[in-house]
Amino acid sequence: MTKEIFIRDLKGLAMGQTIVNPFILNRLELAKTKRCSSYLNLELGDRTGTLPAKVWEAAELAADVLEVGQVFAFECQVDAYRGQIQLKVISFEPLAPGSYDNEDFVKSAALTDSEIKLRYAKIIEQVEDEDYRELLKDIFRSPETRSFFTRPAAKLFHHAYKGGLAEHSLSVANLASNVCDHYPALLNKSLAVTGALLHDLGKCWELEPKGLSFDFSHSGRLLGHLQMGASFIEKAAKRREGFNEEKLILLEHMILAHHGQLDKGSPVTPKILEAMVLHYVDNMDAQLNMVSAFIANEVGDKPMAWTSYDRIHESFFLSTPNFEPKRGPKGALVAEAYLGPSSPAPSDVYNGTYPDAYPDSPSFEPTVDYPTPPPDSYIEQPPLVAAPPAPLSPTPVAPSNKAASVEANLSSSSDKLAKPPPTKLF
**The predicted structure's pLDDT at residue 413:** 44
Catalogue all structural domains in the chain, each as residue range(s) with its CATH number: 7-104 (2.40.50.140), 113-368 (1.10.3210)
Reply yes or no on whether the pLDDT at 279 is more than 80: yes
Question: Are 258 and 266 contacting, i.e. CB atoms less than 8 angstroms apart?
Answer: yes
Cis bond before residue 341 (omega within 30° of 0): no
Query: Could you tell me if 378 and 187 are in contact, meaning their C-beta atoms sit under 8 angstroms apart?
Result: yes
DSSP labels for 236-250?
HHHTSTT--HHHHHH
**What's residue 263's pLDDT?**
82
Distances (CA, A) of 209 to 83, 102, 217, 357: 33, 14, 9, 26
| CA 106 – CA 38 distance, rounded (Å) | 30
Q: At what angle do helices 245-257 and 189-198 cross, to 10 degrees?
A: 50
Q: Which of 24-38, 101-115, 241-255 has the lowest mean pLDDT?
A: 101-115
pLDDT of residue 103: 85
pLDDT-based confidence at residue 325 (cuts at 50, 70, 90): low
- Among 209, 208, 251, which residue's Cα sits nearest to residue 229? 251
Which segment of 30-34, 154-158, 176-180 scores lowest on mean pLDDT? 154-158
Q: What is the pLDDT of residue 160?
A: 85
Q: What is the pLDDT of residues 335-365, one digit of tens each?
A: 444 455 544 433 333 333 333 333 443 333 3
Amino acid identity at 90? I
340 versus 320: the higher-pLDDT residue is 320
User: Which of the pair, 81 or 399, is modelled with greater confidence?
Assistant: 81
- Residue 331: which of 8, 5, 2 has the closest Cα? 8
For residue 393, the cross-strand partners are none
Higher pLDDT, 268 or 106: 268
Closest CA to 106 of 42, 29, 23, 170: 23
Residue among 24, 9, 19, 159 nearest 104 (CA)? 24
Which of the four pLDDT bands, split at 50, 70 and 90, describes residue 9?
Answer: confident
What pLDDT sits at residue 109?
85
Phi first, then psi, for residue 142 (nearest 5°) are -65, 135
pLDDT at 324: 54
DSSP notation for 372-414: PPPP-HHHHSPPS-PPPPPPPPPPP--TT-HHHHHHHHHHHHH
Mean pLDDT for the stretch of residues 71-93: 89
- Tell me the pLDDT band of 16, cut-offs 50, 70 and 90: confident
pLDDT at 179 over 70: yes
According to the model, what pLDDT value does residue 136 have? 96
Residue-wise pLDDT for 242-264, tens only, equals 999 999 999 999 999 999 888 88
* DSSP label at residue 108: B
When the pLDDT of each residue in the chain is averaged and rounded to a whole number, the result is 79
Q: Highest mean pLDDT range out of 6-20, 53-67, 95-109?
A: 53-67
pLDDT attached to residue 406: 38
Query: 112-171 pLDDT, tens per residue?
Result: 888 999 999 999 999 999 999 999 999 999 999 999 999 999 887 888 888 999 999 999
Give Cα separations from 399 to 234, 403, 406, 412 (angstroms).
72, 10, 11, 18
Q: For 288-297, what is each residue's pLDDT tens digit?
A: 988 988 888 7
Section 59-82 average pLDDT: 90
pLDDT of residue 45: 87
Please, what's the b/e burial string for 378-416 (b: 16 or more CB within 10 A of its CB; e: otherwise)?
Answer: beeeeeeeeeeeeeeeeeeeeeeeeeeeeeeeeeeeeee
pTM over 0.95: no
> Are the C-beta atoms of 221 and 207 separated by less than 8 Å?
no
> Is cis: bond before 362, omega within 30 of 0?
no
Give the model confidence (pLDDT) of 181-221 as tens digits. 999 999 999 999 999 999 999 999 999 888 888 888 999 99
How far is the C-alpha of 24 from the C-alpha of 109, rounded, in Å? 18
Whole-number pLDDT of residue 391:
53
Query: What's the average model confidence in pLDDT over 19-27?
Result: 91
Q: Is residue 349 within a helix (H) or strand (E), and if so which, with residue range?
A: helix 346-350
The more confident residue out of 24 and 369 is 24
Q: Of all residues in the chain, what percent carry a pLDDT higher than 90? A: 46
pLDDT of residue 250: 97
Taking the C-alpha atoms of residue 418 and residue 320, their distance in angstroms, rounded to an integer, is 48
Report the Cα 353 to chain-centroid distance in Å: 29
